[in-house]
Amino acid sequence: MTTPDVSAGSLIREWRTRRRMSQLDLAMEADISQRHLSFVESGRAQPSREMVLHLAEQLAIPLRQRNQLLLAAGFAPSFSERPLTDTTLAPAMAAVETVLKGHEPFPALAVDQHWNLVCANAAIGPFLADVSEPWLLKPPVNVLRLSLHPGGVAPRIVNLAEWRAHLLERLKHQNDATGDSMLIELEKELRGYPSGLRSSRPAPVEPSGIVHPLRLAHGDQVLSLISTITVFGTPLDVTLSELAIESFFPADDQTRTVLVRLAKERTAAS
């Protein structure tokens, strides 16, 4: 998103525009004068490190992009970025493993900022059955690509149009929030798949529904699942801030029964 010749002021203006805020809106949120903010954005005033971080907080800029903003302002990054294998992240990764294991017999997985699979629990098996394109399962496994590719899970998603619209809308919101070029390209790719939604019309909503379920064919049965997303609170590391856990819950008794049975079968086979 940033290049060496991009100024901090222009990036602040870009993020403000992305957040659909006027200069006055941001100035009031940041408790500074609109005139000072205007000078910062135009380059007539050089913001301090504290001001850069303060404005980034008001704009809810992700940690990775906050580091880029600091660099553009001439300051060192504030937030570390370590690989998930770094020993200092071991307690956090142990917490992720505990959450995933504790969610069994129901499926749960952890993904990075680009929706690449980091780890999953044993109950994820039904999602990976009958994938006709083996390359989709080779690391790094992109969960969204695996879900919507015609050689992946898509043929087994009973309510594919509805679920596709849900995933694409979620990805669009993420792109609006982060401006991540890789995610923007991923969204273009997913929208170009055969039978992908090419209309801006939303999928019909069930009046009595509370969430969009995933309805997945499994043998002669249909699993109905709802999901939640969990992220770390107040992370100070870029990699950790971008990690998310998606947990799936049975939306009906039949799905619960099937998932419990599959877990017992895995235990008996091990």
- Over range 165-187, report the average pLDDT: 92
- Over range 148-172, report the average pLDDT: 94
Cβ-contact 206, 200 below 8 angstroms: no
pLDDT band at residue 209 using 50, 70 and 90 as cut-offs: low
pLDDT tens-digit readout, 24-52: 999 999 999 999 999 999 999 999 999 99
Cβ-contact 119, 131 below 8 angstroms: no
Give the DSSP letter string of 188-212: HHHHTSTT---S-PPPP--TT-SS-
Domain residue spans of the chain: 8-72, 87-269
- Over range 4-14, report the average pLDDT: 88
Smallest CA-to-CA distance from 236 within 36, 71, 77 is with 77
Q: Identify each DSSP E strand in 101-166 by its residue range.
A: 108-111, 117-120
CATH superfamily of 8-72: lambda repressor-like DNA-binding domains (1.10.260.40)
**Dist CA 127 CA 136 (whole Å):** 12
What is the dihedral sign for C-alpha 84, 88, 92, 97?
positive
Please give the share of the chain, as a percent, with pLDDT higher than 90: 84
Residues present in the chain in total: 270
The pair of structure tokens assigned to 48 is 């301090």
In three-state secondary structure terms, 49 is helix
pLDDT band at residue 177 using 50, 70 and 90 as cut-offs: confident
pLDDT tens-digit readout, 81-97: 999 999 999 999 999 99
* pLDDT, the chain, mean: 91
Class level of CATH domain 87-269: alpha beta
**Dist CA 242 CA 112 (whole Å):** 6
DSSP state of 237: B
- Residue 152 is predicted with a pLDDT of 96
- Residue 212 is predicted with a pLDDT of 81
Cβ-contact 153, 131 below 8 angstroms: yes
Kind plus residue range of the DSSP H or E element containing 181: helix 181-191
Cβ-contact 91, 240 below 8 angstroms: no
Residue 254 has pLDDT above 60, yes or no: yes
Residue 247 has pLDDT above 80, yes or no: yes
Cβ-contact 179, 171 below 8 angstroms: no
* 32-46, 61-75, 123-137: range with lowest mean pLDDT: 123-137
**Dist CA 178 CA 125 (whole Å):** 31
Residue 208 has pLDDT above 80, yes or no: no
pLDDT band at residue 126 using 50, 70 and 90 as cut-offs: confident
- Residue 111 is predicted with a pLDDT of 97
Name beta bridge partners: 80. Answer: 237
- Residue 125 is predicted with a pLDDT of 86
Predicted TM-score of the model (pTM): 0.86
Residue type, 80: S
Residue 5 has pLDDT above 80, yes or no: no
Residue 205 has pLDDT above 60, yes or no: no
